[in-house]
Amino acid sequence: MLQSPANMSFDQFMHKGIRFAQKFYSEDHLNFIENEFEVFDDDVYNVTFPKSGTNWMIEMLNLIKNDGDPTIIHTVPIFERSPWFETVPFKDQMDKLTRPRIISSHLPCHLFPKSFSKSKAKIVYTMRNPKDVIVSLYHFSKILFLFQENDNVQKSIEDFLEGNTMFGSWFDHIKGWMQMKGDSRVFFITYEELQKDHRGSVVRLCKFLGKELTDAQIDSVVQHSSFSSMKDNKMSNWSQLPSDVLDQTKGSFMRKGVSGDWKNHFTVAQSEYFDKVYQERMKDLDTSFFWEQK
Ligand code: PPS
């Protein structure tokens, strides 16, 4: 068994260089997803590094699929509508999905189904300012049963920079998926763009997905996927999970939903150190991200 980073108390295993929690993942299932899972041409994959806007994107994609009709998001829990297909407990949900399937995943590129390469399926890859990912993870670790109490932002930053997080290094995740840049089946977007122009982002998503929605239908997608709507929707806010899994007396899954909360958590020195490592690790990537703009 692997030794845990300080804030993770769960049993873990390494699979092809990536850390997984034994509670939710298995070697067999990860191998099945990579080598045997059948990708359908009309599938839409919602891929992210954790805490980058996965649930927000699930809500938008499901609303777009249903022409803005919110019935499904008000009646079916978010993890049943668009399960994370690499996760063992969600295996049974996969057979219940209606076409086109909207499937979520935190997998790095090298563990994604091989059958994707020959398909016409689409991937939406959402990225977020890594400093805000750290803050979101830090707060999430206080409520998810898998983690130990961690009141140490410094430790969270160190673990993140060393890749001691679930699904491995954020840098490798981003760089791996960015290799697909230029592939017309993959749509890249950032949490920050969604924040800055929610409606415009929905319009761009519709175009990518080949969905023609009316202005009123687009308005409905935007309205029902807003932070406040999702926070109040018990099918989307994870409140249905038992408190011994997600203890929401200590904090909410739908926590704050803003960009730049890292400024309330990082010291100037921590931010400068992070920026230095970030620049070094990202220097070989020929892309400038929305969150880098001054
Ligand atoms: S997970 O556990 O990896 O699937 O989490 P993920 O959904 O990727 O990220 C959770 C963060 O996304 C915020 N969120 C939203 N922000 C804005 N608008 C909407 N509609 C929305 N839905 C979820 C959520 O609050 C988490 O961010 P933080 O910063 O912790 O608030």
CATH number at residue 223: 3.40.50.300
Q: Please identify, by atom number, the ligand 1 atom nearest to the C-alpha of residue 55.
A: 7
**CA distances (Å), 266 to each of 153, 162, 192, 260, in order?**
7, 17, 19, 11
Residue among 88, 288, 72 nearest 192 (CA): 288
Q: What is the DSSP letter of 99?
A: S
- Name every protein residue with a CB atom under 6 angstroms from any ligand 1 atom: 48, 50-56, 132, 136, 139, 225-227, 230, 254-257, 261
Range of the domain at 121: 5-292
The model's pLDDT over 39-48, given as tens digits with 9 standing for 90+, comes to 999 999 999 9
Place of tokens 């400038």: 288
pLDDT at residue number 6 = 43
Low pLDDT (below 70) residues in the chain: 1-10, 149-150
Residue 11: strand pairing partners: none
Structure token digits, residue 12 = 């873990």
d(CA 230, ligand 1 centre) in Å: 10
Place of tokens 């060393």: 162
**pTM higher than 0.85:** yes
What is the total count of domains within the chain?
1
The model's pLDDT over 197-255, given as tens digits with 9 standing for 90+, comes to 999 999 999 999 999 999 999 999 999 999 999 999 999 999 888 788 888 888 889 99
Query: Does the annotation count 106 as an active-site position?
Result: yes
Half-sphere exposure of 144 (CA within 13 A, CB side): 17
- Is the distance from CB of 44 to CB of 101 less than 8 angstroms? yes
Instruction: Among 128, 136, 138, say which to mutate for ligand 1: greatest number of ligand atoms within 8 Å of CB.
Output: 136
Cα radius of gyration rounded to whole Å, the chain: 18
